[in-house]
Structure 1
């Protein structure tokens, strides 16, 4: 959940950053977090269903917004 929460926080930072101030670091961070999330061994198990993925995203989004 930590990586997914960090993904949402980084995405919001990217959205709030003016292109004139540089967005490359935020984009690199999103790519790195996306790799960590997608490559996690949990998603290779039977429990790693699309419904579980959506539940993780919803929890992480709520945590990132609080």
Structure 2
């Protein structure tokens, strides 16, 4: 069994922002001026990829799926707390 991954809170927040921007871009109708969303997604992607957490080569390959899960679980926990 693999040890659990622990991600910095800023990395989880950054990935949640990326997911939200991606979802907004996916929902935008064609020709609706998505330039700002595309630029934001590119900026967030660059920031995600260059985050200090990924300093070791193996961290990116093994941690990206776990980061997605951590971001999703964090978002779900916030929704339950707000309810």
Q: TM-score range by the shorter chain?
A: 0.7 to 0.9
More RCO (CA 8 Å, sep 6+):
1
Q: Please, which of 12, 31, 36 is the counterpart of residue 47 of structure 2?
A: 36
- 8 A contact 1:7–1:33 mirrored in 2: yes
Tell me which residue corresponds to 2:28. Answer: 17
TM-score by length of 1: 0.79
More helix by share: 1
- Change in 2 beyond 3 A, CA 1:38/1:18: same
| Greater gyration radius | 2
User: RMSD of the alignment, in Å?
Assistant: 2.2
Matched positions, count: 65
TM-score by length of 2: 0.65
Runs of 4+ in 1 over 6 A off after TM superposition: none
1:37-56 Cα offsets, whole Å, 9 max, x none, are 00011101377252222100
